[in-house]
Structure 1
């Protein structure tokens, strides 16, 4: 039986296999070990995935781009269909097509026929809704089985990250694992040691597990609504002064999984009516240009890029010159923090819940292990470290720790 660890993330996907007890991530796109969780459907062509999907969209190839595919799990949207050319495809079948391509690439790269998988999953697909959470896992299991995995197991993503980190520890310690991904933030408190690492049953070492459906795409969405969408008319008045421009269009446009909902003739007609009745029709006309050109994902990627640039260098720019000459939105760290500080605060609150669940005080945590792209945001990192101020901060493989941990567990199935 050939087993793999599969981290199907909101933003990126990895797949790993173990050889001689050493886990490694399989290159899924050229030399890249990470594959953007994106798929592009173009008329008359096979679907593109990953970077190639994004490039096809950016280059203006006619078709439909979908990103943040994982975010529909646990919602009613997963059973709904979306128009792709002349057909309609259910979102769960879109996920299946994407994961089929991932599996095929890994098998071609390794020469193995993969029939077993340890799938990563967030602590909560859906906050405070156990039934929806179970349904999300069941859906992902069904998809995995439908694409050829005969043996499917799940592991919490922060636990997988803990297994990766545990390979480096030299003595016993209690670690808080923070996995801040594209769609969720997950936390686990785990007792680790070289001796415990050899055990198959680690249930007694997991002291707490919690999470919240907040991740990198939520930071993108909130930043977009705060810094960019007002330039397209969000919050501006209608001619009837006690009303504002309807905000639903802007919320869909700022949310990766909802962007494609706007691309239809009915929405364009509605926006035309808003333009007619708006006190600032020039602003809403910008919104119409984005929707008519089906460039919502271009806008979302520009916001994401500005967020990353701001995190790295202190400043970023959302270039909107393609909407209107010389139009742009500047972002700096104080502005990014102002728009998204509530998200960071809610993440840190989950750490408090984890400590309560484990029956521990913050000073009992020896190490804070950080993984996931959003741990690079300075105000997020500050909120997390302030929750356990005495802990040693360890930076994991930002996009690979979860996949490597899942692969370690998968090796036990082989």
Structure 2
């Protein structure tokens, strides 16, 4: 059996072909979209879980070294790892929100793929993270379908998150491939996510069109300008139909981060003054929110930064705000803050104002947010996304007949208006914002494996 596998930054989903149409497979409590999250007692538990409970061996000597270190660290901490100690998806998120300080939690491992300057052991750890998530999804999908899944087409962005260009893309794709192989997939192919979304849109066409696909995912925005229609459908070689590509590390997570920074962090010290008259260092307010930036997270939550935060508390003219920032440090609340911003972003798409609440140790913080404030906060990522749209059109030197917007953030009225302003005379259409990529990957899997 083959599937299309959208290993996404925000959510994961898989689909197979049934009666000549893609069908998404339920992955958690009847839901098709599994949040891309993992929770474990410790960071070291991931590698031990794969070996002990999934019978997945390390791929090489570096992986074996990582496993030995992990098992030794858990023994030293007196941790007896159980299979149920690793949680995925919504269950992992709910456990983190209830007990953020008591576990290892990671959202969107895909965000770190392609990061340069990492040691081999770090790369193998990311591979283990991805493998654990893929193995869980594969096992769940097989239970749902009562079939063994052997082959998969996995979606990938035009450019991953790293700054290393082709080297970053190669490293990221290699991690995904190795993780998928270890999880039990035999034949593995990759397809660009916007192309996959376009394949699903193409299934509805009765005439030839030039389509600009704008896929605004959790971690990246990707644009593909394609010739599409009945003459191209099910063609094994689509290279001649692809007119232009553009893609960058900017997506739904960035919208949430920018909104959290501008609307929430003033209550944690942003814009406040030190006794010297200088403003609070901006990186101390940005780094805890930068959940898609490994170096920023490491810097903020590192032991060395604790001394800096305590010094800033002593020098702050508004110490109550810095006490909140210290609580972010101690309880690893960066993900929670971004989550509150995401909730506000969704709500403000349908209402002019929204009140966000967050329970801290000694208070309940309540922040009123307005739609106009959100528009202002999202200006930087909005401009980056519209630049990608213009870049794809300029590359092809062709105006599309239609713009097909997809991805979790494609429903944002701020972004839809921004894209419409770039191509004011071109109709803008939508499909299944969350499922178009997955469905298109399943269609491409049929071309690859049947």
Q: Distance in 2 between matches of 1:176 and 1:72?
A: 28
Matches within 5 A, 1:1-20: 2-20=1-19
Match of 1:385 in 2: 420
- Larger mean CA deviation between 28-37 and 73-82 belongs to 73-82
1:171 to 197, 207, 222: 207
Displacement of 1:328 in angstroms is 2.3
Q: Distance in 2 between matches of 1:51 and 1:12?
A: 10
2:278 aligned with 1:238: no
**Contact 1:127–1:213 under 8 Å retained in 2:** no
Aligned CA distance change for structure 1 residues 115 and 101 (closer, same or farther; 3 Å): same
Displacement of 1:266 in angstroms is 4.3
Displacement of 1:280 in angstroms is 2.1
2:436 aligned with 1:408: no
2:111 aligned with 1:74: no
Q: Distance in 2 between matches of 1:406 and 1:81?
A: 31
1:223 to 225, 240, 259: 259
Q: Distance in 2 between matches of 1:317 and 1:77?
A: 41
Displacement of 1:162 in angstroms is 0.5
2:350 aligned with 1:351: no
**Contact 2:116–2:168 under 8 Å retained in 1:** no
Match of 1:107 in 2: 142
Displacement of 1:332 in angstroms is 1.7
Aligned CA distance change for structure 1 residues 66 and 79 (closer, same or farther; 3 Å): farther
Displacement of 1:376 in angstroms is 1.7
Q: Distance in 2 between matches of 1:77 and 1:12?
A: 27
SS in 1 for 2:232: helix
1:64 to 100, 104, 108: 104
Displacement of 1:247 in angstroms is 3.0
2:224 aligned with 1:184: no
SS in 2 for 1:90: helix
**Contact 2:210–2:402 under 8 Å retained in 1:** yes
**Contact 2:290–2:297 under 8 Å retained in 1:** no
SS in 2 for 1:398: coil
2:229 to 193, 196, 200: 193
Displacement of 1:89 in angstroms is 8.3
Q: Distance in 1 between matches of 2:421 and 2:361?
A: 41
Match of 1:202 in 2: 238
Displacement of 1:335 in angstroms is 0.7
Match of 1:21 in 2: 20
- Listed one character per residue, the Cα deviations across residues 249-300 of structure 1 (whole Å, up to 9, x for unaligned) are 3222112245864446544343222211222222111111222233332222
Cα RMSD, aligned residues only: 2.2
Q: Distance in 1 between matches of 2:420 and 2:343?
A: 25
TM-score when normalising by structure 1: 0.91
Q: What residue ranges of structure 2 are gaps of 5+ in the alignment? A: 42-78
Aligned CA distance change for structure 1 residues 150 and 89 (closer, same or farther; 3 Å): closer
Match of 1:85 in 2: none
- Listed one character per residue, the Cα deviations across residues 83-112 of structure 1 (whole Å, up to 9, x for unaligned) are xxxxx9823321221111111111111122
Q: Distance in 2 between matches of 1:264 and 1:343?
A: 28
Displacement of 1:306 in angstroms is 0.8
Q: Distance in 2 between matches of 1:110 and 1:77?
A: 41
TM-score when normalising by structure 2: 0.84
Displacement of 1:379 in angstroms is 1.5
Displacement of 1:311 in angstroms is 1.4
